[in-house]
Structure 1
Amino acid sequence: MKASGFIKNFTAFSAFSIVLISLLSFKTNEKSIVVSKDGKGNFTTVQQAIDAVENGSSSRTKIFVKTGVYKEKIIIPETKGAILLEGENPENTIITYDDFASKKNAEGKDIGTTNSATIFIYSDNFTAKNISFENSSGRVGQAVAVLTSGDRIAFENCRFLGNQDTLYLKGVQDSPDKTKPSRNYFKNCYIEGTTDYIFGAGTAVFENCTIFSKETASYVTAASTPQENEFGLVFIHSKITGNAKENSVYLGRPWRPFAKTVYLDCEIGSVIKPEGWHNWNKPDAEKTAFYAEFNSKGAGAHTSKRVSWSHQLTKEERKKYTADNILKGKDNWNIKKSLK
């Protein structure tokens, strides 16, 4: 073949390849970034990858995190576009840090619970898969592993490791914009802790999850659901277990009035107290909190011994407690699409 003919054919092939790649990119509508500690990816830290995500992008950026322990404090600003943060597997892909509420800042003041988080998720449309999020500070009081404040946030096959205040579903309780939703979905996840280790104002569904109360555990949840929100923390087909002393842990207590927490078709382990719920020494909270169960089973499912101000849902009441109905919102959020 003559050189000119080769060049002509090569040029045509290259043009076709570019068009094909463009079409495939358009079809997947997803950019990719690789994080690897050995320097063989695009970045060596997760925060560097987050910083590289385009602000306000309509397409999702996939950040693939290779096996390793990444000790870093991560902030995902609300300006970022959609992100899929995916690890190789949750046992060996770990994001960890060791801040805690009583740790002193440069001015000698406590940094506080909120600032103790390992990862802050302020953006909307964030999804994580196959990763462990850890606060490794130990039993030193409040020490958050994950804080969520955005909307349409989903986790699948992730682990949340810590002690007190492990998972903070902060929502918008301290924001001027009280109308902004903060919806969270957890599928096949593992969450551990001691006191109030799932807490906050956000609406969240935990489906097929393992909720593990560690040795010194006292309360699983501490919701602060806004009064106008129909749903707070909802556990569906999950396992409530742990290695705490038998009959030593409450299912929840109300951080603020109108707290809402519901367990549906869950296996309740022997660590849970027969009375189930605590009023946080606030009798008035008994009038506003909504604590309920449906079809609990297991050694800790002493439904007849629960506190009088809690509820056992009827089959008809149970019908509205599906993940899709709880989280769909005005924009009909498609959870399955977020987890793809």
Structure 2
Amino acid sequence: MGVTYITLVYVLNLLLNVCPGSLSSMAVPSSDTDAVLITVDQSGQGDYRTIQKAIDSVASNNSELIYISIKPGTYREKISVPVDKPYITLSGTDANTTIITWNDGGDIFDSPTVSVMASDFIARYLTIQNTFGTSGKGIALRVSADRAAFYGCRILSYQDTLLDDSGRHYYNSCYIEGATDFICGNAASLFDGCHLHSLSKNFGTITAQHRNSPLENTGFTFVGCKITGLVGGTVLGRPWGPYSRVIFAQTLMSDTVSPEGWLDWDDPNKQRTVYYGEYKCYGPGADRSKRVGWSRELSRDECAPFVNKSMIGGRSWLRSTPTHFKKQMPRPIGFSGIGQK
């Protein structure tokens, strides 16, 4: 990437994370209980046969809650939720039977199976998978939007599985699998009751958090999670950015977690600036007697600001499933979504 692009990304991330929502001018839905219902069914019994066509049918600068119900099946699609289509929910009924899969590798911004660019996005009970394999970066899910939440999802790849890029995010009861830096990016994210599974046989890394400045209110917090994998196969994280911040609290760590716990990515200078903390974790991988000296065993007071939804301002934007649904209104003739299944 060129210097100009990197500078622009840094400034945008800083604005989004210091003043989340400051760049958003989207209208707010008038109701959080009513939603437009769109169904996706490969058999042709729904409104659309593909998930992307359903997303494309949503009006730009949408100001209604949109609930896209996806029937069970394996959807071989590369999906993008564009920045001008907020308030979309993609929902299956069982992540094991509703699968979105693609096979692509290389550039982390181009390869994702699913890219979320729009704010106020929700995904429920979906498997999101990139089958690129072990030969390089293959992102399953990219989240480059503020206020995004994922419930009961399975996110699967090998390297850089989840590009948790920017914005405030919430992951609840999700299963995330990979080997190298498989949760990476510079978002402010709370992982609540998630299962992290390492595929690495040796020297794997769960996180690569990219916080670049102490002014950025970003970082990954894992609360009540579970870590599994092969014995001694992974560390908890390494610093993509010099001020990388990751906290594990009350998390079950199997013996897949190496005794040292953390790496400095061959840059000892980062040992002075990263913030890597653990609080009341348990299991054989939680033994801190051989941890690197620059990681922290947090007190209750030190941990408190990071372990609830206040960290991501979630009480103001996390929403429950709508209780009333209406069918999508027909679009004007000539609109690209009309009649396209």
Q: TM-score range by the shorter chain?
A: 0.7 to 0.9
- 2:76 — aligned with what? 71
Report the residue type matching 2:270 in the other structure: A
Q: Report the residue type matching 1:235 in the other structure.
A: F
Could you list the per-position Cα deviations for residues 89-137 of structure 1 after superposition, in whole angstroms to 9, with x for gaps in the alignment? 1001000000011xxxxxxxxxx22211101100000000010000012
Larger radius of gyration: 1
> Residue 43 of structure 2 corresponds to which residue in structure 1?
38
Q: CA deviation at 1:302?
A: 1.5
C-alpha offsets along residues 253-278 of structure 1, whole Å, 9 cap, x if unaligned?
A: 00111000000000011011111000
Would you say the 8 A contact 1:293–1:311 is kept in 2? yes
**Counterpart amino acid of residue 287 in structure 1:** R
Residues 127 and 339 in structure 1, CA contact (< 8 A), matched pair in contact too:
no
Paired residue type of 1:68:
G
Once residues 310 and 31 of structure 1 are traced to their aligned partners in structure 2, the CA distance between those partners, rounded to angstroms, is 47
State the distance in 2 between where 1:160 and 1:315 align.
Answer: 31
**Structure 2 residue runs without a partner (length 5+):** 1-29, 323-341
SS at match of 2:110: helix
What is the letter of the counterpart of residue 35 of structure 1? V
| Contact in 1 for aligned 2:159/2:180 (Cα 8 Å) | yes
Return the offset for 1:27. Answer: 7.7
d(CA) in 2 for partners of 1:78, 1:298:
42
User: What is the TM-score when the length of structure 2 is the normalising length?
Assistant: 0.82
Match of 1:8 in 2: none
Name the structure, 1 or 2, with higher relative contact order (CA <8 Å, separation 6+). 2
Equivalent-residue separation in structure 2 for 1:151 and 1:225 (angstroms) = 16
1:215 Cα offset (Å): 4.0
Contact 1:154 1:338 in 2 (8 A): no
Instruction: Report the number of matched residues.
Output: 291
Cα distance, 1:339 vs structure 2? 5.6
Tell me if 1:235 matches 2:222. Answer: yes
Of 128, 135, 154 in structure 1, the residue corresponding to residue 123 of structure 2 is 128
**Counterpart-to-counterpart distance in 1, 2:156 and 2:200:** 14
Mapped to 2, the partners of 1:125 and 1:55 lie a distance apart of 14
Distance 2:32 2:74 in 1: 33
CA distance in 2, matches of 1:338, 1:184: 15
Q: Calculate the aligned-residue CA RMSD, in Å.
A: 1.6
Determine whether 1:159 maps to 2:154.
yes
Distance 1:265 1:230 in 2: 22
SS at match of 1:120: strand
**Distance in 2 between the 1:126 and 1:338 partners?**
12
Give me the whole-angstrom Cα distance separating, in 2, the residues matched to 1:308 and 1:207: 27
Q: Which residue of 1 aligns with 2:285?
A: 300
C-alpha deviation, 1:241, in angstroms: 1.1
1:145 aligns with 2:131: no
Conserved? CA contact 2:33–2:321, under 8 Å: no
Partners of 2:311 and 2:320 in 1: CA distance: 16
Query: How far 1:294 moved relative to its partner?
Result: 0.2
Greater than 2 Å deviation, 4+ residue runs? 25-29, 332-335
The one-character-per-residue Cα deviations of 1:312-339 (angstroms, maximum 9, x if unpaired) are: 111111222233211107xx5332x256
Name the structure 2 match of 1:333: 316
Amino acid paired to 2:307: T
Q: Residue 222 and residue 26 in structure 1: after superposition, are their counterparts in 2 closer, same or farther (change >3 A)?
A: closer
The alpha-carbon distance between structure 1 residues 89 and 231, as it changes in their structure 2 partners (threshold 3 A), is same
Secondary structure of the 2:305 match is coil
Note the residue ranges of structure 1 that are not aligned, 5 or more in a row. 1-24, 102-111, 172-181
Structure 1 segment 1-340 matched on structure 2, within 5 A: 28-101=33-106, 112-171=107-166, 182-216=167-201, 218-227=204-213, 228-242=215-229, 244=230, 246-328=231-313, 333-335=316-318, 337-338=319-320
- 2:309 is aligned with what amino acid? D
SS in 1 for 2:302: helix
CA distance in 2, matches of 1:86, 1:252: 31
The amino acid across from 1:214 in the alignment is: L
Classify the secondary structure of the residue corresponding to 2:159. coil
Match of 1:6 in 2: none
Native 8 Å contact 1:169 1:199 kept in 2: yes
- Aligned partner letter, 1:130: Y
1:221, CA displacement in angstroms?
A: 0.5
* 1:17 matched residue in structure 2: none
C-alpha displacement of 1:304: 2.2
Q: Offset at 1:231?
A: 3.9
Q: Which residue of 2 aligns with 1:177?
A: none
